[in-house]
Amino acid sequence: MLPPVKHFSHLEQARKIFEGLQQGSIKRSLFTQNANSYFSEQALKDFASSLARLGAAQEFTQTAQQLRGGMTMCAYRVRLPQKTLRVWTYEMPDGKLEQYQVVAE
């Protein structure tokens, strides 16, 4: 397991995507075609309705990074005012995200 990283490009990108999901939008150019299919307009509305009410992230830290199946997996911990979430991403070799998952810790 890696120690939390403060200034890391994956970290900043993951944080910005999380903030976008709280508002019901994502930067589609960051994602693969498959991931963009998953993030339908309804899915984005669902993310916004569940994440926005949790408030702004007080802390967003990277907890792990590893290679898996040709992709780079990064895991994060998101501390919010009343809840902590786990986020993880799977990045393809071309830099596009295949997955962006959010679960309660």
Q: State the Cα–Cα distance between residues 78 and 15, nearest whole angstrom.
A: 9
Domains in the chain with CATH codes? 9-104 (3.10.450.590)
Residues β-bridged to residue 96: none
| Nearest residue to 83 (alpha-carbon basis) of 58, 49, 47 | 58
pLDDT by residue (tens digit) across 44-59? Answer: 999 999 999 999 999 9
Q: What is the pLDDT of residues 27-86, one digit of tens each?
A: 999 999 999 999 999 999 999 999 999 999 999 999 999 999 999 999 999 999 999 999
Q: Is the pTM of this model over 0.75?
A: yes
**H or E stretch at 15:** helix 9-22
